[in-house]
Structure 1
């Protein structure tokens, strides 16, 4: 049984935060680097500021929903006071990887290496999300049987709604019929190539060769459209897969490293820590494989 404190649920078996819903009104708890071991959704209702996430910087305004995966570093500097609704949930409470086919937010709302880590909330979606937040708040006050199942259901609908909204806002670039350049085709080809070869090809020059384009030209296009270097994008894709393996399997770090194209386990561990801020073992222990389930 989950332990409850206001709008916070704690997993009594691990002591980890399981689920939390709260409001931000004026004060900004995200004004320093965050490296949280759970998923975070921050719905900005009012205010302006600057978001630093991973390797990029974005201007933040009202009606944005920010989404961050465990240990994804981010910092929000407010220029005007922030009013927001915040939802945190641990993988023990609800696992994005395990439920990918049900909610399809992995690679859209979370772990999206190409689009910004947020979605602009339009009026029709705003009303739906507000209703869901109210239902979650009400359920958190209950102690009846099946509270966990009810909360997960509301969370799923919230994630599905936000993911559909983001997918509509960031369609594949190659589907843009109005473009007059060849860049969208190149970028889509780059995405496809990274997905096919990220386990064996780790260098930007590898992908320039595959796409028959100069490394300099590919670097320029990538930075312009994704606000990241190609090296950063490749690294992000490798780290996402490493996290998935650490979460879902009991493979050793050495086995995971080898499957991702690294013969040296220690080099891979340093690479992982540099990009994920924690070691593979720490990630597994605090986020990952076969943790005690919340019941």
Structure 2
């Protein structure tokens, strides 16, 4: 049901949603799996409970930003009143991949297998984000000259500020001095997956690369990423597949081969089982802007 307090901007070229600002005060908004074909940022103003995203669970509280990429599954199980503001924007309106050098939020706020979707906010930071949202809302109803450009400027500021805050919240900074060896191993694990995810797909592969037993590596992965090694590898493959589908004109068969799948149909099944949509439908609904 449409929220009468929401603000929606429609893409004049294709009639699809470009940007939407949606206040919510009801636990039912996100209490079932969400797989949206646009980017979503949720500013949580009130509530507690559990956030489920991809393969992990996180604690919910007020003063959070939750950042989700297109078709990234998530839901919120709130145990009390849930209040906040949802900011949705489509890639055709603003593509974070094409504007990565300007705002650097890809891999920070979105599309990072090793990071949670959460940005923790101080009270003054939350107030600034609300001001930016209010500025976007004013532009959405004003319909003045250069309306889109003004809205995108505020959206860029929103994402830049969120990225800066997220970068300052290094999850291993809370590690005690006695555990300094572990963060080094965590970084080696990330580097190994980045180098080998196309060819190596098992826990034992990475245990051998890092010269550590499989059980210890599995425990380390759960401790620092709240995910299994298999989860990390699968998510990294999907992130790369999404990037290729959106930014290039390569066929699904080409992308499958480059990601280490000898069978295009097996890749398509893997993608659909994970994302809940076929690669071709993902390309069509998320948008397609060639970078070549």
TM-score, with structure 1 as normaliser: 0.92
What secondary structure does 1:228 align onto?
A: coil
How big is the shift at 1:139?
A: 0.8
Alpha carbons 2:44, 2:83 under 8 Å: kept: yes
Superposed CA offset, 1:228-254 (max 9, x none): 100000111111011000000110000
**Alignment correspondent of 1:204:** 203
* Change in 2 beyond 3 A, CA 1:167/1:137: same
Alpha carbons 1:129, 1:158 under 8 Å: kept: yes
How big is the shift at 1:110?
A: 0.7
How big is the shift at 1:203?
A: 2.1
Structure 1 segments unaligned to the other structure (5+ residues): none
TM-score, with structure 2 as normaliser: 0.93
* Change in 2 beyond 3 A, CA 1:97/1:55: same
**Alignment correspondent of 2:94:** 94
What secondary structure does 2:59 align onto?
A: strand
The question of 1:115 aligning with 2:115 is answered yes
Alpha carbons 2:27, 2:77 under 8 Å: kept: no
Superposed CA offset, 1:58-82 (max 9, x none): 2201101111110011111121111
* Distance (Å, rounded) in 1 between the aligned partners of 2:177 and 2:49: 32
* Change in 2 beyond 3 A, CA 1:175/1:60: closer
Within-5 A mapping of 1:254-273: 254-273=253-272
Alpha carbons 1:174, 1:184 under 8 Å: kept: no
Moved more, 199-208 or 270-279: 199-208
How big is the shift at 1:6?
A: 6.0
Moved more, 202-211 or 61-70: 202-211
* Distance (Å, rounded) in 1 between the aligned partners of 2:241 and 2:104: 19
What secondary structure does 1:263 align onto?
A: coil
Alpha carbons 1:248, 1:288 under 8 Å: kept: no
How big is the shift at 1:182?
A: 2.2
The question of 1:57 aligning with 2:57 is answered yes
What secondary structure does 1:59 align onto?
A: strand
Q: CA RMSD in A?
A: 1.8
**Alignment correspondent of 1:218:** 217
Alpha carbons 1:33, 1:73 under 8 Å: kept: yes
How big is the shift at 1:199?
A: 2.0
Which structure 1 residue ranges, 4+ long, deviate > 4 Å from structure 2? 174-177
Structure 2 segments unaligned to the other structure (5+ residues): none
